[in-house]
Structure 1
């Protein structure tokens, strides 16, 4: 119908499943994961408020350095 081979469709479904956006049920197909509840959505925004300003600052301070190791360290400190 869309003129696309099955391979990219399978790869896309696999990626979406890996990102926990869809769930595969053998013999039935795929379905989307449940929507976030009010509390989960609030937690997501709280997390973004913690991480995004830090990430923006890190990117602005040194555009050529990859801040991933510092982010991992900060997240580890936050989780512990």
Structure 2
């Protein structure tokens, strides 16, 4: 959090919803934009590109990463 507050990015991307859940103590989090922020920084939980994450195909992962890109471009 200290680094995010100091660098103040518009978005923080977390690779893996499980990583997000553990880091932020949010057991019900889902892939996508989160309601929680760090200062003014929005947070997006992305699917983990690990091969163990088989229910996400390359296409569906690319779509989700594209959603973050579109949100970042739309919000400056």
Q: Which has the higher strand share?
A: 2
Q: Which has the higher helix share?
A: 1
Length-normalised TM-score, structure 1? 0.29
Q: Which has the higher contact order (CA 8 A, sep 6+)?
A: 2
Length-normalised TM-score, structure 2? 0.30
